[in-house]
Amino acid sequence: MKAKRTRWLAACALIAYSVILIRLVVFKAIPVIRIGHLRFRFAGPHTGPANLVPFKTIAPELIGHGNRLIDLVNLMGNIIPFMPIGLLAPLVFRSITWQKALALGVAIGLTFETMELIFRVGIFDVDDIMTNALGVLLGYAVFAMFKTPAQPRLN
C-alpha cells in the first residue's frame, strides 16, 4: 500500500513539475532587468534559424568564449531544471535504467525544443536537447546513488 501511494504521489509530482517546467522553459516571460539607464535581457521569446549541429552553441560556452557568467547561467539553466525529472521518473517507472533515463531525457528535450519551434517562442537547438538530457541523466544518477538495494524475497 505504501509503495502504491509513493508511486502515485511521485506521478502527480512529475506531472505538476512538468507543467511548471513547460511554462518556465517554453513559455518563458523573463522581464528586462533595468539598472539606471542600462537594460539587461538574459532570455526571452525569440526565433531564428535552428541549430542542428551538436556542440555548435555550447562549445564556445565550454571553452570560455564570451561572458562566462551568462554562459554558465545558460548551461546550468538547461541542465539543473531537468534533474528533478530524473529523480522522480524512477519512482513512477520502477524498471527504469540509465539508458531509459537517457532516452527519456532526449525525448523530453526534443519535445521542449519542438514546442518552442511550433509556438515560435524560441530557437530549436540540438545542444539544448543534449543538455536537457544530461540534466535528466544526472537526476537519475543522484536517485541511483541513494537507492537502497533490492531486498531478497522470502518464500
Residue 18 inside a domain? The answer is yes
Residue 40 inside a domain? The answer is no
pLDDT at residue number 99: 97
Residue 45 inside a domain? The answer is no
Residue 125 inside a domain? The answer is yes
Ramachandran class of 123: left when φ > 0, alpha when ψ lies in -120 to 50, beta otherwise = beta
pLDDT at residue number 98: 96
Q: Encode pLDDT of 94-148 as tens digits.
A: 999 999 999 999 999 999 999 998 888 888 999 999 999 999 999 999 999 998 7
Number of independent structural domains in the chain: 1
Domain that holds residue 104: 2-33+50-146
pLDDT at residue number 72: 87
The answer to whether the CB of 97 falls within 8 A of the CB of 77 is no
Q: Encode pLDDT of 56-70 as tens digits.
A: 989 988 887 778 888
- Assigned C-alpha cell, 94: 520502477
CA within 13 Å, CB half, 115: 17
Residue 103 inside a domain? The answer is yes
Q: Encode pLDDT of 18-40 as tens digits.
A: 999 999 888 876 556 677 777 66
Residue 117 inside a domain? The answer is yes
Q: How far apart are CA 128 and CA 5, in angstroms?
A: 34
Residue 97 inside a domain? The answer is yes
- Torsion angle of alpha carbons 136, 45, 75, 40, nearest 10°? -150
